[in-house]
A and B are shown apart, each in its own frame.
Chain A
């Protein structure tokens, strides 16, 4: 069972916005602002799109934005495009006594 809870799927039409939630606990998402999000197309390596909950790596479109509230992190994708159709996974640092990372189960985004 994944440590972080994500919806299995979300969908939206081109141009719309969608938000994917990632719910953890007070030992991971709620304890550290160290949530990252990854876009994963089948057969390709995952791609970092958000780090430290709200920051975007250079080269990542500003249509991707992250936020947190308590133990829930969210990824919002605005102006949906066909190429956004992919799996999205959240990850949080969860190291209390030793280094540890936890992932969500992943969310499949379908662009209708």
Chain B
């Protein structure tokens, strides 16, 4: 079955960076895009960007441009999201989500989320 398994919770100081991983299994890794979505406490979901595991091409939301990097490793079927210059506003649950196939523009499988806490 399709699974997206994310790395665990992280605590960072303001100004630091964090790297969250998302390991895919149960499907052909290069056939589906992986997106990153976050949810801050008490807030709605926020789209951060996507990576195409086939060729590594990325698109980032404007609000994260210059601060986020999404990469993939086809040898381990893993996608990474690196966010730098963290502030307390980046405290959130970070989700990876799969898109493509018959559900086209929707996210049909999600990781379990990785809580990132930014605190001094």
Contacts and interface: CB of A to CB of B under 8 A. Distances in A.
- Counting chain B CB atoms within 10 Å of each CB, the highest count among A34, A45, A57 belongs to A45
A34 B104 contact: yes
Given A98-B59, A99-B59, A103-B44, A45 B113 contact: yes
A51 to B, nearest CB: 4
Contacts of A64: none
A36 B108 CA distance: 10
A19 B44 CA distance: 19
Interface in B59-114: 59, 61, 95, 97, 103-108, 110-113
Nearest to A104: B44
Interface in A55-89: 57, 89
B105 A52 contact: yes
A46 B45 contact: yes
Contacts, number: 65
B106 A91 contact: yes
Given A36-B106, A48-B107, A99-B50, A91 B61 contact: no
A38 B45 CA distance: 10
A9 to B, nearest CB: 13
A52 B102 CA distance: 10
Interface string A20-43: 000000000000101010100000
| Among A32, A57, A99, A102: residue with most chain B CB under 10 A | A99
B3 to A, nearest CB: 10
A36 B59 contact: no
A57 B110 CA distance: 14
Nearest to B111: A45
Given A36-B105, A45-B111, A100-B59, 20 more contacts: A2-B44, A34-B104, A34-B105, A36-B103, A36-B106, A38-B107, A45-B110, A46-B45, A48-B103, A48-B108, A51-B105, A51-B106, A52-B104, A89-B44, A91-B47, A91-B107, A100-B61, A102-B47, A103-B47, A106-B44
Cβ-closest 7 pairs across A and B = A51-B106, A36-B106, A105-B44, A45-B110, A103-B45, A101-B47, A34-B105
Interface of B: 35, 37, 43-47, 50, 59, 61, 95, 97, 103-108, 110-113
